[in-house]
Structure 1
Amino acid sequence: MAALAHLEHGQRDAMEELRTELCLYVGHLRRDGLSREAALSNIRSLIAQPATPEGAIALTSVVRDALAELTLQWCEAEYARLASDGEG
């Protein structure tokens, strides 16, 4: 995921880019029929793995865990928004 790589490299606006990409991805997962829990599990796995070799060093495990929690909040909210809108 390019946005995660950008975040690992400390690029400006990478958090917003990551949020946007993940919300789009959650929409795709929901349309593909994944449950909320399955979609969030998928996101957690994605964020847990460095996108670049440098990412393993740039984001310590504590920081990556915090990032995972934040992204799960975003994705849970997006899944709920899509469900309430009747999309997918």
Structure 2
Amino acid sequence: MNISFAPGDKVRVSEDFFWAKGATGAISIPPGEITALSGPWDGDISRQETSSLGVNTVYWVWFDEPQLDADGDGPYRAGSIWESALKRID
């Protein structure tokens, strides 16, 4: 298991990601309601998500400002974001 981020790391979501484009936030351990649905996360911080877009490592991000999803639903205060769409910021 290769963990790129730690709880509390400040991140920015890529402008090319399919939702929360350009949002900033912090990596967090997902709440119990999320792990009750998804199952345990690797090291409590990341998990492998399989979808029609492939398999991606995801992290739970609490956004600085609530975000709409790709369908315009929300706003959401937090969500699963692909590791490849995250960049650590100061």
TM-score normalised over the length of structure 2: 0.25
> Which one has the bigger helix percentage?
1
- Which protein is bigger by CA-based radius of gyration? 1
Ranked by relative contact order (alpha carbons within 8 Å, sequence separation 6 or more), the top structure is: 1
> Which one has the bigger strand percentage?
2
